[in-house]
Amino acid sequence: MSRQIFNPYLPLDTYIPDGEPHVFGDRLYLFGSHDKEGGEAFCMLPYEGWSAPVDDLTAWRCEGTIYRPEQDPNYGPANRYLYAPDVVQGPDGRYYLYYAMSGEGCFTGPIHVAVCDTPAGQYEYYGAVRTPDGAELERYITFDPAVFNDEGKIWLYYGWSLEKAGITENIPQENLIPVEMALFGKTEESIRACPYELMGANAVQLAEDMLTVLGEPNRIVPGQFASFGTSFAGRSAASEVPPDGKDHAFFEASSMRKIGKIYYFIYSSQNQHELCYATSAFPDRGFTYGGVLISNGDIGYQGRSAEERLATTGNNHGSLVAVNGQWYIFYHRQTHKTSFSRQGCAEPVTILPDGSIPQVEMTSCGLNGGPLAGEGVYPASICCNLTNGRMPHQTGEPIRTPLPHVTHRDGERFLAEIEDGTLIGYKYFSLSGKTALTLQIRGEGTGRFEVLAEEQPLGSVSVVPSADWAEAGAVIEVSGTHALYLRYCGTGAVELKQLRLSAR
């Protein structure tokens, strides 16, 4: 069997969310935040570089630590975590890393820049993005920077907005100002001086020094408080309540790509779990809503509602990249019943002749170029669906109640708190007739795992109590490419570490 790759595409003990993929030379480089396994906050670790040859996306290589928060002169209690970065090659051939920091409280600082001679070498602090008079750029909310080289012109994108959180009415600017002052350390004078509402996505061109902005930032996608009446809102007036999941106003996670002559702005919407795109003929204006690219709960895919999500959802961040003519969307998923241990995943997407991109589903095979082989040993935590039928949306604080989830202990990664009714899905396997399926299980549960290909029952695996990992299996028979599901029926909770498929 040739080498394969799964979702998540990096090692299971590696947590690189907010992934910005870029091809430089003959390698695909990934730049992202760095979560701690079982961490207590976002982005607790230094930036770590990863790359793969463009002709073999199964062969990811760790480039080591490329930048540490202590290298920034602003490092301190309020600026100790490196948030979602992006990298662009400048006119001088060097590579520039743009990032925001946070720590105690919310993000209030400037957009920082580091520089390196190679994409994944040792970056050195370079400066902070500034206005022509030398002052740090403070216009709007300087968060989640993205950079884009458009035939020699360097564009910077950034911004943030409050997530929906039950807000369904447009809030007058007068009522927002005290909130914005408290959250972002802004003065009333600076907020009133903004041509647009403080929260939203912005674009501005950078000078050749890669630090100085040229002119006033333009608003390209509105936040929720200014989105009504636009293509981004599911409502035409402030008094309307947007239909569930139909408000795609900007939340965070700016990213820019160009396909043909069209600019694609990729971002996380007010729904958080989804990455959306907007298109324009210009890099800094005229954007209209395009659609959803991916949801980390498959919400919206084939009409799926939020109540029917197929995994715990949470914030999402990523972007598009073309490798050898195939486009992919990179995104991340939540683990450990928190938002603080996120893992990168990727899926192929299709650009239709009219430029639209249909939403794709989460899979276990991602960058594999096809279904996984129906023979071999697979970690249980590469499941793309994990649900008890009532999965929540994760917003920060750890979930304390029992919930099926990916976790780790004693150097092992596995699925935990699998209780009666839990459905675990793997998409997709290429199966060819009779196959022995062996599961590695432990826990106090008694019952069985029903095995299904889509909705077709294939058999069941008995579950008995065991303090240590124990194997149990069944012979199934199905041919073709199928989603393979395990549904637990029984009492007590169990854990699942591994699946083994062997042709009979």
| Residues classed as catalytic | 18, 252
The whole-angstrom separation of Cα 20 and Cα 369 is 20
Q: How many C-beta atoms surround the C-beta of residue 1 within 10 A? A: 8
The whole-angstrom separation of Cα 17 and Cα 45 is 12
Strand positions, DSSP E, 122-269: 124-128, 146-150, 153-160, 200-206, 213-222, 250-259, 262-269
If we measure between CA atoms, which residue out of 446, 466, 499, 428 comes closest to residue 7? 428
Only one residue has tokens 């009779």, namely: 434
**Total H helices, total E strands in the chain:** 2, 31
Assess contact for 227 and 246: CB atoms under 8 A: no
Only one residue has tokens 């009504």, namely: 228
Strand positions, DSSP E, 223-318: 250-259, 262-269, 274-280, 288-295
Q: For the purposes of burial, counting CB atoms within 10 Å of the CB of 263, is it exposed (0-12), middle (13-18) or buried (19 or more)? A: buried
Instruction: Please report which helix (H) or strand (E) contains residue 471, including its range.
Output: strand 466-491
Contacts of 476 (CB under 8 A, 6+ apart): 431, 434, 435, 437, 451, 453, 458, 459
Buried b (16+ CB within 10 A) or exposed e, 69-85: beebeebeebbbbbbbb
The β-bridge partners of 437 are 474, 501
Q: How many C-beta atoms surround the C-beta of residue 165 within 10 A? A: 9
CA distances from 248 to 101, 234, 276, 349 (A): 26, 8, 7, 20
If we measure between CA atoms, which residue out of 452, 457, 443 comes closest to residue 490? 443
The dihedrals phi and psi of 280, each to the nearest 5 degrees, come to -160, 160
The β-bridge partners of 329 are 320, 347
The whole-angstrom separation of Cα 501 and Cα 489 is 21
